[in-house]
Structure 1
Amino acid sequence: MRDVLRILLPPLIWLASFVAIYGLHGVGCVLLWPEVAMPVMSLFRWLLFLAWLAAVLAQVGLLLALRSERFRSDSPFIRWTSTAMSWVGLIATLWTLYPVAVLSPCAVG
């Protein structure tokens, strides 16, 4: 059962991060966070950027943990697969969440 968790945890973290950041984006737009000025960026941009950064760091931490002696599997196949899935989770987090965290504005309606 631990081997299944090793394989599925990276995409599950990506999924949770995806939902959380898009949800934060929606809440921020409704509560008008883009209009709250802060140094360098608005509150909205800071929160989205920090949430994205936390998601990336979680994926990197998981990748490092699954490669460590303590958490890696004894099976070479599971070790390879869990490492590959960790890379997939990290790349998916970088690729799919960067635009909403840095580029996407709220729609004016």
Structure 2
Amino acid sequence: MRDVLRLSLPLTLWLITFSALYGLHGLICAGNWGADPGLGSLPLGRTALLVAAAVALLTQGAMIFLLLGSRVGAASGFVRQTSLALAVVALVATVWTVVPIALLPTCGN
């Protein structure tokens, strides 16, 4: 049962962060947070999205770190390699999800 969790958790975590980031983006646009002043020259909405994106990236990185360790990593070589490969795929997917947040304008502004 733990092997199934090791295999499914990385992409499930990506799905959760993807949904949370774009849900937050929708809340920012609906609440017009994009124009409110935030930290320094960044608007509040952009700041919130960048912080959430950083948390998503750190979480995916921590997932890889945990799967590499002997405490959480699988004993089976196949499950270990496959779960690590899925965690790397999830990290790449998270980076791909975060790039539009970091580079494109928020709410079409």
TM over 0.5: yes
Report the AA paired with residue 16 of structure 2. Answer: A
Verify the 8 A CA contact 1:33 1:42 in the aligned structure 2: yes
Verify the 8 A CA contact 2:46 2:106 in the aligned structure 1: no
Stretch moving more, 66-75 or 96-105: 96-105
2:7 maps to 1:7: yes
Helix, strand or coil at the partner of 1:69: coil
Return the offset for 1:89: 0.5
Verify the 8 A CA contact 1:14 1:92 in the aligned structure 2: yes
C-alpha distance in 2 between matches for 1:47 and 1:29: 12
Q: What is the number of equivalent residue pairs in this alignment?
A: 108
C-alpha distance in 2 between matches for 1:104 and 1:2: 41
- RMSD of aligned alpha carbons: 1.2
Report the AA paired with residue 8 of structure 2. Answer: L
C-alpha distance in 1 between matches for 2:84 and 2:105: 31
Verify the 8 A CA contact 1:25 1:48 in the aligned structure 2: yes
2:20 maps to 1:20: yes
Percent sequence identity over aligned pairs? 41
Return the offset for 1:92: 0.2
TM-score, normalised on structure 1?
0.93
Q: Flag the 1:55–1:2 CA change in 2: closer, same or farther, 3 A.
A: same
Verify the 8 A CA contact 1:33 1:43 in the aligned structure 2: yes
Deviating beyond 2 angstroms after TM superposition, the runs of 4 or more aligned structure 1 residues are none
Return the offset for 1:40: 2.6
C-alpha distance in 1 between matches for 2:22 and 2:102: 9
TM-score, normalised on structure 2?
0.93
Q: Which runs of 5+ in 1 are unaligned?
A: none
